[in-house]
């Protein structure tokens, strides 16, 4: 029978800090130490924290641009097909492909597709909705919304080793270091 403790899988190690300055300093030192799969949790925005944990850009603008271009092309094509191929009508001698009349609907369809892509793309790229997260297994993590600050080094990090990472986090002088189990 396998040992239960030997088969325990962890999500990462979590360090708890008492102030935003401590968290920001710890995030910078963690990044400098070579850890790349790091996340920080705070009850309020902290200037420079995103850069300190290594977050630099997102693909969301590209997703919105491509969806807007798809919307513009799709909106124009639907009108062109209906007016030129499917059911052409001679209205006042104007050509069937009278593109200025297609501009308002093309614009609206562009905005619709881009807005939907922004909303659903943001949810998808953030991994939402997430009704359960392994950090919820850390009893002190409930304080993340009540004035405590947390830094997590994930187990998937190439440099992660439980003992060495724990020793590194403890050198940052946190309130406590905890294991987050999967």
CB atoms within 10 A of CB 31: 15
Q: Calculate mean pLDDT across residues 82-90.
A: 92
Confidence of residue 7 (pLDDT cuts 50, 70, 90): low
Chain mean pLDDT for the chain:
92
The per-residue pLDDT for range 102-136, each reduced to its tens digit, is: 999 999 999 999 999 999 999 999 888 888 889 99
The predicted model gives 77-92 an average pLDDT of 92
The pLDDT, as a whole number, for residue 1 is 45
Confidence band of 93 (pLDDT split at 50, 70, 90): confident
Q: Which pLDDT score is estimated for 37?
A: 94
Percent of the chain topping pLDDT 90: 80
Q: Which fold has domain 10-57+134-181?
A: Alpha-Beta Plaits (3.30.70)
Q: Please state the rounded mean pLDDT for residues 63-88.
A: 96
Question: Taking residues 140-156, what's their average pLDDT?
Answer: 94
- Each domain of the chain, given as residue ranges in start order, spans 10-57+134-181, 60-125
Predicted model pTM: 0.75
Q: What is the mean pLDDT of residues 125-152?
A: 92
Mean pLDDT of 49-66: 93
> Three-state SS string across the chain, please?
CCCCCCCCCEEEEEEEECCHHHHHHHHHHHHHCCCCCEEEECCCCCCCHHHHCCCCCCCHHHHHHHHHHHHHHHHHHHHHHHHHHHCCCCCCCCCCCCHHHHHHHHHHHHHHHHHHHHHHHHHHHCCCCCCCCHHHHCHHHHHHHCCCEEEEEECCCCCCCHHHHHHHHHHCCCCEEEEEEC
Average pLDDT over every residue of 63-67:
98
């Amino acid at each position: 029978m396998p040992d239960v403790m030997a088969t325990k899988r962890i999500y990462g190690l979590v360090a708890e800090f008492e102030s935003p300055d401590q968290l920001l300093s710890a995030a910078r030192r963690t990044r400098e130490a070579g850890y790349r799969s790091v996340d920080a949790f705070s009850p309020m925005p902290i200037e420079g924290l995103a850069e300190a944990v290594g977050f630099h850009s997102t693909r969301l603008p590209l997703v919105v641009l491509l969806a807007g271009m798809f919307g513009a092309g799709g909106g124009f094509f639907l009108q062109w097909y209906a007016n030129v191929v499917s059911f052409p009508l001679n209205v006042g001698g104007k050509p069937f492909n009278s593109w200025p009349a297609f501009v308002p609907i093309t614009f609206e369809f562009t905005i619709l597709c881009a807005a939907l892509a922004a909303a659903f793309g943001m949810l998808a790229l953030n991994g939402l909705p997430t009704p359960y997260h392994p950090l919820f297994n850390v009893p002190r993590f409930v304080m993340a919304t009540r004035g405590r600050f947390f830094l997590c080094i994930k187990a998937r990090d190439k440099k992660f080793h439980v003992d060495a990472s724990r020793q590194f986090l403890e050198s940052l002088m946190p309130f406590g270091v905890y294991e987050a189990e999967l």
